[in-house]
Amino acid sequence: MAFSLFTSKNRIVNLVVNDHSIRFLELKQTNPPGAQKWGERLLPPGIISNGKIMDIDSLAIILDECIDDWKIKRRSVRFIVPDQLVIIRKVTVPAEILEDEMKGYLYLELGSSIHLPFEEPIFDIFPLSNNGKTKDLLLFAAPEQHVMEYANLFTSLKLNPIAADISPLALYRLFHELGQANQNEKLIIVQFDLTSVNLCIFEDSVPVVMRPFALPFNSEQWDIKRDNLGKVEIKFIGDTNDLVLQFEDIFKELLKLLDFYRYSLSKEKQDVSRFLLTGDHPMLQAIKDEMKERFEAPVDLLSLDAISNGKTGSLPANFLLSLGLALKEVK
């Protein structure tokens, strides 16, 4: 699953670009695979907003500097499509539609039996069931214009984009690689980042519904610096009531999604069995503690214990998404 736009190459660099940062990670070919090296550059507000590039000239200058600093010129890259651009939707099609005809059929149905909030999508599909008359599929879609804007930017800077992925799949891939996934599990991944939150419910290994949300971000309320090893440290220095209100809004949305899943999506009216909390928000432990107070299902942080170290020390928690992306298509 994910967006198969490109062809494959060796020596792949994995890029995660969001509203507030650019991160890269290179995989170490070990068993189990680990991180070889990584780097991070924070972005000024306004260059990317809700996953969309707003100032491509400034982004190109910053990314070009990163390419030099990280010594990744002319490398092949995978990248994450921003959560805010991605739609996951279940669709039903006639059973007689062959696999190699499926994407053409879906394109023809856009705007009639299949409705998306944007035109000219790029999409991938995942088969769910076939009763002989109809097939159920999961449709992963994003606006081609915005996805290709990232791909074209990389190409213009002499990088070679080979694959685009989505964050829930990358995170679940890492979760599974670490041996933390359970069979027949109803899992919700809560990705709590500095400027956004993404909620995604999995049945076994299949994402069935996803909801992204923006978090208000005021740079004046945060103290951002680097430690002696170059690691970015972010500390909230504003009014804590502002954070409390933000978190409260997200918990309300989380509760709505759980109710929607129980009463509309789950065939057996089941609840999720576990929360998996991850992300780059500096208050992740406090968020976990609050979730444990509010919800009955257990709340786990995506563990770093089984991840090997790379050349630049222990892998920071905010690079877990990058590592999950790096595991794509690793045999």
Torsion (CA) 276, 277, 280, 284 in degrees, nearest 10: -160
What's the average model confidence in pLDDT over 276-280?
A: 95
pLDDT at 313 over 60: no
Architecture of domain 87-142 in this structure: 2-Layer Sandwich (3.30)
What pTM does this model have? 0.90
Rg (CA), the chain: 20
Q: Please give the structure tokens belonging to residue 248.
A: 């409260």
The CATH class of the 12-85+143-326 domain is alpha beta
Confidence of residue 2 (pLDDT cuts 50, 70, 90): low
Confidence of residue 7 (pLDDT cuts 50, 70, 90): very low
pLDDT at 291 over 50: yes
For the chain, what is the mean pLDDT? 88
Confidence of residue 266 (pLDDT cuts 50, 70, 90): low
Residue predicted with more confidence, 40 or 183: 40
Q: Where are the chain's structural domains? A: 12-85+143-326, 87-142
Q: What is the DSSP string of 74-126?
A: T-EEEEEEPGGG-EEEEEEEETT--GGGHHHHHHHHBTTTB--SSSSEEEEEE
Long-range pairs for 95-102: beta carbons < 8 A, 24 or more residues apart: 95/130, 95/131, 95/132, 95/133, 95/134, 95/135, 97/135, 102/137
Q: What is the bridge-based pairing of β-strands 121-130 and 134-143?
A: antiparallel
Instruction: Specify whether the CB–CB gap between 182 and 300 falls below 8 A.
Output: no
Phi, psi of 38 (to 5 degrees): -160, 165
pLDDT digits (tens, 9 = 90+) for 140-186: 999 999 999 999 999 999 999 999 999 999 999 999 888 888 888 89
- 162: closest CA among 321, 331, 13? 13
Residue predicted with more confidence, 56 or 230: 56
Q: What is the pLDDT of residue 80?
A: 96
Q: What is the largest CA-CA distance in the chain?
A: 63
User: What's the rounded Cα separation, in Å, for the pair 295 and 315?
Assistant: 30
Q: What is the pLDDT of residue 267?
A: 67
Confidence of residue 304 (pLDDT cuts 50, 70, 90): low
User: What's the rounded Cα separation, in Å, for the pair 315 and 307?
Assistant: 8
User: What's the rounded Cα separation, in Å, for the pair 248 and 252?
Assistant: 6
In this structure, of 55-59, 95-99, 177-181, 316-320, the range with the lowest mean pLDDT score is 177-181
pLDDT digits (tens, 9 = 90+) for 192-244: 999 999 999 999 889 999 999 999 998 889 988 877 666 778 899 989 999 99
What's the average model confidence in pLDDT over 42-46?
A: 92
Confidence of residue 9 (pLDDT cuts 50, 70, 90): very low
